[in-house]
A and B are shown apart, each in its own frame.
Chain A
Amino acid sequence: MNAFSHKSIKLNLYGLLLALFVFSTNFTNAQDGEKLFKSYCVSCHYAGENVLVGPGLKGVTEKYEMSWILEWVKNSQALVKAGDAQAIAVYEKYNKVIMPNQPVNDDEIKAIFAYVDDYNANAAVAAPSASSSDAVVATSDSAVEDDNTTYYVFFGAILVLLIVISVLRKVNYSLNSVIKNGEIEDEKGMWSALVHWGASNRKFVVLFVLGIIVLFAKAGWDTALNVGVYTGYEPEQPIKFSHQVHAGANKIDCNYCHSGARNSKSAGIPSANLCMNCHTYINEGQQYGKEEIAKIYKALDFDPVTKTYGDNTTPIKWVKVHNLPDHVYFNHSQHVTVGQIDCAKCHGPVEEYTVGKQFAPLTMGWCIDCHRETKVQTEGNGYYDEIHKRLPEDLKAKYLENGVINVDELGGIECAKCHY
């Protein structure tokens, strides 16, 4: 046993040395290769097997002769034009995107592919640990969902319990009255007892009733104020798009997708073709994997493997979150472009939302408050310089007295500005 383990340690050490040796000779090569790969190849190729613009480079050295690869990298179109069958097949398969001629020599190309093979060998080793971390994420996700169900079960149980108690009470009461009087009475007896007690404690009853009335009046008032106010409305959408991932983690500007906000009344829900600006190549998300992004592909009838579009398109039915009543006019461009109002002023910290929601109440009082407080940027605007010069003295005193022009002073609270 002992001798055996000694032997095996020795063997392992030799193995390790050998591996280190092989690795280190390979390493200088592969390290250069990595640098070269990152400056020449990575904008169109993954080192793994996924297709970016061109094919993933995994297994390329096994599939093709190195001499052919060298020629292809240096001048792919020459091969295609010369009628090389392999070259034409690759060119046709990846939608006839021309691979530009790369200014690299033979050694550099070999170094690049040494890196690619190395990368894939390492990825194969790393894969099991990666999948186990995925599993951890998955379990924590399901735990969150479980929490929600227990919440509902808990309240369900309380409700059932209350019903059971009330039923049992009634049964108990009826049984008691049967025992006492030999016939079933209704509950009047209990109320009359309560009324009797109340008659002797009038002050208490009056206070109690007043308290309840005040409480309900307050609740009713609050409820009435919330009629038609959608603050916090956060409907489930057909695709689990997360602003947190796009605007938060990846810092994509609001205007990039809501490109209507600068120039039109509506900020616009981006069309699916805009999603494809990035998701032609990104087909797997961090949270939901391929499932949610596949919904965009389905809507567009896009095949992520061949990267081609079909005709069988179906619109994505997003749920509109911000619903202004029909009798109010609101224009995004007036606020975004002219007023230079930050999106977050009305929409809140959208970069933190995983589901789109309404942040501001969008009530008239809220609009008016902001119009009263917001200063119009008149500096450097010749129109205002001129019109302020021409203002009659009394109006100058009225509007320019504090040197600040707020939106309300320019008609921002006139009824017909928004209601017409």
Chain B
Amino acid sequence: MKNNRIINTVFVFAAIATSTLASCEDPNSPGVEYMPDMYRSPAIETYVDYVYTDSMSARLPVANTIARGYKPYPFENTLEGYEESGQKLKIPFKITDEMLAKGGALYASFCKHCHGPKGQGKGSINHPAYSAVPSYTDETKNRRGGRSMSELEPGHIYHVIMYGLNAMGPHAAQLNEEERWKIIAYVQTLQGKNKTEESDNSDAVVTAD
């Protein structure tokens, strides 16, 4: 009888061990948790979906509110708005090498895969819809408002980052205002502009009106 008990215990132990090992191999199971309360807190963690009736902890902002520090963008997504932003918006800081380096890093993260490492188009996106991204230095006057790519003013670029244009989507949500301007400063460098004489815009206001 005694032996019987020992062997039974061994078998139970083996069963537990195999079942835990098996659970590790299930990609849909995170594995064994000791004291789940410590992992799954009653306070809401980002993107953990429970508590609310619709099971979402990532909430939309309350209607008719804006985020702290949010600045409304005064120009509309129309040809007129585009022209106006081109005239009124200027890079709100003095362009330094450090700014350009940061702009370059942001460009690499947010623009390069479509616009290419030097802004010549030909990014790494391998899809026909993005196979013909125009070069920043293209001089064909067939862009919005009868301009060429090389003639774009910083304000035009800012407007396009905010609303997107043609196959390019809006990137307003991914970048804050300062980052957008840093990217624009870098893009202007790729266009062969910003050669010191244009870099003093420190007095210019950020948004018009």
Contact = CB atoms under 8 A, between A and B. Distances in A.
Interface string B160-176: 00001011111101111
A40 interface: yes
Contacts of A256: 109-110, 113, 174
A263 to B, nearest CB: 8
A393 interface: no
A139 to B, nearest CB: 25
B124 A250 contact: yes
Given A216-B13, A277-B169, A315-B54, A323 B113 contact: no
A326 B43 contact: yes
B14 A216 contact: yes
Contact of B17 (A101, A216, A252, A327): A216
A323 B39 contact: yes
A-side binding surface: helix, strand, loop or mixed?
loop
Contact of B142 (A52, A103, A266): A103
A232 B31 CA distance: 10
B70 interface: no
B113 A253 contact: yes
Interface stretch (B88-96, B133-141, B185-193, B201-209): B133-141
A273 B171 CA distance: 10
A234 B27 contact: yes
Interface residues of B, number: 67
A52 B10 contact: no
Interface string B117-146: 000000011111111111000001111111
A357 B27 CA distance: 9
A282 B176 CA distance: 26
A288 interface: no
The 10 closest A-B pairs by CB, nearest first: A277-B169, A326-B41, A251-B124, A234-B27, A42-B132, A255-B109, A259-B174, A253-B109, A281-B129, A266-B46
Interface of B: 1, 3-4, 10, 13-14, 17, 20-21, 24, 27-34, 38-41, 43, 45-49, 54-56, 58, 79, 108-110, 112-113, 124-134, 140-146, 164, 166-171, 173-176
17 contacts: A52-B129, A195-B3, A212-B10, A216-B13, A228-B33, A236-B28, A250-B127, A254-B109, A256-B113, A259-B174, A263-B176, A277-B170, A278-B130, A281-B129, A315-B58, A320-B49, A325-B39
